[in-house]
Structure 1
């Protein structure tokens, strides 16, 4: 007996221009910030030195921008939207850091479909999103335009 496992993600055909989705939320911890510094070797004092940060407008260490970007990817995975249907991240445009993220902030990602187009290959298509990472207070901390390639829905035999 063969058991067919179908992806829970969305196919190219499932996206409509203007549609939006919101991921689950996640709270950022000091451990996240320190672990990212260790992983990347980026020990810039604005991320790791509490005393130095008291002299900055932030008052305490802030998360690395790429850390938040990476967590946005994890939150998208947690939403299930890309599970088994995402083929590739093609491009990020206009990536902007708008507000800091600190220990204790809770973030989620909001995505809106801006555009979609068929590719030259019939089994895939390209979707462009406006992605916003939003904190618990509603402030946008990062924003970008992301272009991804998705599988097309398989034709039934």
Structure 2
């Protein structure tokens, strides 16, 4: 089996903080997400309409920002080959708009870990905070994920 890049449940402790790389959200991202999702709400797609909103221009869909952050998390290697499932996301809040040209990243703080009854997996609860380039919070949530435990024959070397 090839070497796993991600952290196993056993490697994750309450209080750990993981930060992703950064990615700039483009107008193309916003338009493509509208096409993919079918959400053509004017706040995302109509410049003239948006001139009359507090944002002044189209803003990214909340789920688009969440999706980009999830991709950044994967790219960081934290859960590559060790994540079994996303179990849920609670208290998801859109705190500030994300516009074309904003650069986002995510910081995850481990709040709780719990081994499952099977003993080969564990639930990790994290507070995920997504920031823009000005270090302003744009989204927050609490997510629970199921991670594999380190196989007994796997070593750290």
| Fold similarity call, TM over 0.5 | yes
Whole-Å Cα distance in 2 between the matches of residues 82 and 29 of structure 1?
Answer: 26
Aligned to 1:128: 125
> Of the candidates 45, 48, 52, which is equivalent to residue 48 of structure 1?
45
Q: Which one of 73, 76, 82 corresponds to residue 76 of structure 1?
A: 73
Q: 2:143 aligns with which of 139, 146, 154?
A: 146
Pairing partner for 1:26 from 23, 27, 34: 23
Name structure 2 gaps, 5 residues minimum: none
Describe the SS at the equivalent of 1:47: helix
1:108: Cα distance to partner?
A: 0.2
- CA–CA separation in structure 1 for the residues paired with 2:18 and 2:75: 12
Count of residue pairs the alignment pairs up:
154
Q: Partner of 1:141: helix, strand, or coil?
A: strand
How far apart are 1:104 and its partner, in Å?
Answer: 0.2
Instruction: Return the offset for 1:72.
Output: 1.0
Taking only aligned residues, the RMSD between alpha carbons, in angstroms, comes to 0.9
Once the two structures are TM-superposed, the CA of residue 5 in structure 1 deviates from its matched residue by 0.5
State TM-score, norm by structure 2: 0.96
> What SS does structure 2 have at the residue aligned with 1:36?
helix
> 4+ residue stretches of structure 1 with deviation over 2 A?
none
State how far apart, in whole Å, the 2-side matches of 1:90 and 1:131 are: 14
Deviations along 1:80-134, one digit per CA (max 9) or x if unpaired, are 0010000000011100000000000000000000000000111100000000000
